[in-house]
Amino acid sequence: MEGDRERRRFKVGVGMPGWETPVGSFRVIEKTAYPIWEHPAKGVRIPPGPTNPLGSRWIGFHRDCKGRRGFNGQEHLEVKGCVTSGFHGTPNRNSVGGAVSHGCVRLFDEDVRELFEMVQVGTPVTVLP
């Protein structure tokens, strides 16, 4: 949004049941081009590149340090410590439009690149139910 005017709209994927995207008012807390993805429970790291689940951009907006437990559709996961939710791209274009993430907002990679250029650390983020 820019004032009361919608500046741009993107198709997104959101958190799956048990790993819902946090709802509320937040601010962009970090931006990373070519991020490293770390599995939320196992700690396995995937470097930047075409198979990275975060795509080419990461825009974090919420950090929760209470830990988290849930079933991701394939396995039960327990995360101890902090988890961060944000906007990111994805190499799996079919996952955009569904409730499939661990709480993040997935966009097509070309869309998250555009969004990345539109926001700064501190930009307000509102996630509606």
Q: Assign 3-class secondary structure to 51-92.
A: CCCCCCEEEEEEEECCCEEEECCCCEEEECCCEEEEEECCCC
Concerning whether 88 is annotated as a catalytic residue, the answer is: yes
Q: Scanning the structure block, which residue is given the tokens 């795509």?
A: 55
Token readout for 77 is: 């996961």
The catalytically annotated residue of 39, 62, 102, 104 is: 104
What is the C-alpha to C-alpha distance for residues 87 and 125, in angstroms, rounded to an integer?
Answer: 10
Write the DSSP symbol of residue 126: E
The catalytically annotated residue of 62, 65, 82, 88 is: 88
Concerning whether 62 is annotated as a catalytic residue, the answer is: no
- As annotated, the active-site residues are 88, 104
